[in-house]
Amino acid sequence: MAAADELAFHEFEEATNLLAQTPNETTTRSDQLGPKGHVAVAMDSGGSYGAEDEVEESDKTELLQEEKPQPGFWTFGYYQSFFDVDTSQVLDRIKGSLLPRPGHNFVRHRLRNRPDLYGPFWICATLAFVLAITGNLTLVLAQRRDPSIHYSPQFHKVTVASITIYCYAWLVPLALWGFLRWRKGVRERMGLYTFLETVCVYGYSLFVFIPTVVLWLIPVPWLQWLFGALALALSAAGLVFTLWPVVREDTRLAAGVLLSVVVLLHALLAMGCKFYFFQPLPPEPMASPHQATSQPTATVLPPTLPRSVAA
């Protein structure tokens, strides 16, 4: 009984304190206490606060809203806030990244300043696996045409692919964000994106490479280059249109350098993937099988060895 009394007293004291601060609040007695033992205070619809009333009232409500403890980064709830998206929202964001338009800033229009981590993480994972799998498939198809090519599962490519993609999609936004922050320190009129928004932009911009990589299975070289260029154009355009409003305030030199570095890195990624995972296969079965499989970054056709030496 004494314990129950103590709890009851504690409850009422807190509730009366809260009531004294804002007379319009109603407290509901709930059996579940909040994470720090506070009574859950039910506020009537938040919309009514912003619209009307004196500055004093809105100040107090702002105080109360901030009193709701922001979960620390060691709690699960903190990370849960980054996965607060529905299926339709994710699909909408993917569509936005596939069709960039000059006026539409991806961060403002699609993300609406609520970045999520679901998209970047799973798009990178999918891209890494698709790269490794289709790279392996091209080897299978090549072996169909030329039985002397030695086929092997090449499982190490999965590791290489995933490390490359994840490093690109997380370290380059980090560098970009750091650079933008530094420039903002120098010229204060520049806008800024948070780190998560930058990661989101980069992650969703990589989505267009997934169908491109699958289309790279078609063994027609000029078609592969066409698809690659198209994907690069779409992806880089998305990045540039998103970064332009932020970088516009800076000097033209800095803006130009930044945007061209971003596009260049993107192009390097695309070409690196193409050459590493889809080594250009010899048009005639003249290249030795040993060299075809052991030189992953061959951009030039390996010199043909006499067949007797190779066999």
Kindly list the residues in this chain that would bind other proteins in the complex (CB under 8 A): 1, 4, 8, 76, 79-80, 82-88, 90, 118, 122, 125-126, 129, 133, 136, 151-156, 159, 293-294
The CB-of-147 to other proteins minimum distance in angstroms stands at 12
Nearest by Cα to 168 from 226, 123, 224, 228: 123
d(CA 134, CA 153): 11
The CB-of-162 to other proteins minimum distance in angstroms stands at 11
The CB-of-112 to other proteins minimum distance in angstroms stands at 17
The CB-of-236 to other proteins minimum distance in angstroms stands at 26
118 vs 276 by CB, closer to other proteins: 118
- For 207, which DSSP code? G
Contact, 116 vs 223, CB < 8 A? no
d(CA 274, CA 231): 12
Contact, 118 vs 83, CB < 8 A? yes
22 vs 154 by CB, closer to other proteins: 154
The CB-of-152 to other proteins minimum distance in angstroms stands at 4
Other CB atoms within a 10 A radius of the CB of residue 239 amount to 23
Dihedral angle of Cα 259, 264, 265, 271, to the nearest 10 degrees: 150
153 vs 221 by CB, closer to other proteins: 153
Q: Please write down the HEC assignment for all residues of 50-91.
A: HHCCCHHHHHHHHHHHHHCCCCCCCCHHHHHHHHCCCHHHHH
85 vs 246 by CB, closer to other proteins: 85
61 vs 288 by CB, closer to other proteins: 288
133 vs 261 by CB, closer to other proteins: 133
The CB-of-283 to other proteins minimum distance in angstroms stands at 23
Structure-block tokens of residue 86: 């529905």
The CB-of-174 to other proteins minimum distance in angstroms stands at 21
58 vs 293 by CB, closer to other proteins: 293
- For 44, which DSSP code? S
Contact, 109 vs 78, CB < 8 A? no
133 vs 301 by CB, closer to other proteins: 133
Q: Which residues of 77-110 are buried (b: 16+ CB within 10 A; e: fewer)?
A: eeeeebeebeeebbeebbebbeebeeeebbbeeb
Nearest by Cα to 169 from 206, 209, 131: 206
Strand partners, 27: 41
The CB-of-299 to other proteins minimum distance in angstroms stands at 20
